Amino acid sequence: MKHEEIEAEENVSIVVQFVLLGFSELPNLQGFLFGVFSIIYMIILIGNSLIIIITRFDPALQKPMYFFLANFSSLEICYVSVTLPRILVSLWTQDRSISLLGCATQLCFFLVLGATECFLLTVMSYDRYVAICNPLHYPLVMNPKKCHQLAAGTWLGGMPVQVGQTWQIFSLHFCHSNQINHFFCDIPPILKLACGDTSAHEVSVYVVGMLFAVVPFMLILASYSKIVLTILRLPTAQGRAKAFSTCSSHLVVVVLFFGSASITYLMPKSNHSGGTDKLLSLFYTIVTPMFNPMIYSLRNRDVIAALNRLLFK
């Protein structure tokens, strides 16, 4: 009996650090990947910083829509900075180890900022709904105080739940391996390393995913269904085209982000594969933030005009 207890204790080793396998299966492309991700990171930083600058200082963009766009660009910089610098360090040094505390910290910030993005995209759709469906009440409803309250709510709203979820996940014992088949600390690959039955934790992930992804997405769809009906009732084709142009860029970002993120977090653990998780995660953590400034600027005449005034003044 005593021998069995000792053997059981030995099998459940205490993990003090993880190894992020990342792109280790591509040993000949490490330098190339470092160059590509460095360029992507610079594009994200420069593109989103330009949007923050013009929405802050250009008089023509002192509107609620662009206030939330500046918040969104700030969020994208923070969101990608949680994962991409660590990827670059791993590719440059080939040191893929990360401490247990470092992994938990990265996951916590990633989840909190991911929840913020879900909420902020919902608030941005509500702003477009009020502007198009209730234009006479728009200045009253989306006043500066209300805008700042909504922005604060999006940044802080998901924090208690996501901190709690991070603590719950890292309270597990890890005995299968310390190698995370991913390029950052994310829930699905970490749960694969946990000992015993993790079904309760999987249910918790689904519940939080429904709360922070599905519910906001449904609210966004409700807003846009009313927006589309309102736009179709506009008397002129020019008015309909202008209304659609102010919403289409936001809708593209919504589909890109929620589509890839929902597959990752709402798919059963048994259906997860390392390659699929990495591909989807690359899409919503790196690719989407890179294209967001382009999507918003190229489809918005006010933003293009403000950029021209900034760059060619």
DSSP, residue by residue, 173-207: -B-S-SEESSSS--HHHHHTTB-S--HHHHHHHHH
Question: Higher model confidence: residue 195 or residue 277?
Answer: 195
C-alpha to C-alpha distance for 300 and 58, rounded to whole angstroms: 15
- Report pLDDT digits (tens) over 234-278: 777 776 776 677 677 777 788 878 877 777 666 665 555 556 677
This prediction has a pTM of 0.87
pLDDT of residue 8: 38
More confident residue, 291 or 49: 49
If you write DSSP's letter for every residue of 212-226 in order, what string do you get? IIIHHHHHHHHHHHH
Q: Which of helix, strand or coil describes residue 53?
A: helix
pLDDT at position 275 is 67
pLDDT averaged over every residue in the chain: 84
Count of CB atoms situated within 10 Å of the CB of 19: 16
Structure tokens at 196: 């015993």
Mean pLDDT value across residues 151-161: 94
Which is nearest to 92 in space by CA: 41, 160, 126? 41
299: helix, strand or coil = coil
Rg (CA), the chain: 22
